[in-house]
Structure 1
């Protein structure tokens, strides 16, 4: 797979990711756990986790792209690879949507942080801007600041994020 990678580095500049997404080519996030891209559109953001489709018509209008982990973007070669990549993107969207359905903004903030920490790691999430995380679930950046504080304090009432089911 790495021979097909368009880019692979510890820190891929967001401008490079953004230009690849704007190219109109359908790409796939490397399937290694911890790799993801947060794609920011005008009024919302979406996370595309490991194995997810990015670019193409999905993200041609994106305004910002935040790479997480040692990101590598590959071209899905076959129809089956494209289908699986679209399915993974859809799973990530559905999982984020489940979090966003919670009526309590602070709980939405906590849930999205836990979900991101579970799949991308605490260190990677600590570096993400609050406004970007807030866009994922429709809360204010200040809510994410408060949710981060709640998560570092002892858990009294644990709210669990939805699981991402991966096809093996």
Structure 2
């Protein structure tokens, strides 16, 4: 997200680019600990917009389940598994998967324990950009096409989004 932050800064936006330990905590814990920290760094701006990548979009949606973000302008999600990912379903029991993806990663499947599937519709103006180019042909075997190697284009969608765009890029953008 550093290149994205630099590009937005060059366009005149005030940018707060933050990272979080995605492999250490559940989605619920990440939402409660890290979204407030990011918002606190925004200061007294008239509006706040979010650009998220992958899990970040789910963390934001989880936060919005219990809290309203004041002065929220727009949200742009890049490659979010809004309906989960079949890759998680197929790989969750593979040795090393939990170590590489952490507890939050295990919550991104499409089954009954899927956090994204339990979240409500979009809050505010939300646009989703999905990738349709996979550079991981093995993982793409588990996904309906088109996909970005981690998430199918169809699974980036969810109720209430204002716009959905497909670009020919992989999950890493």
The TM-score by the shorter chain falls in which range?
Answer: under 0.3
Which structure shows the bigger proportion of residues in helix conformation? 1
The TM-score with structure 2 as length reference comes to: 0.27
The TM-score with structure 1 as length reference comes to: 0.28
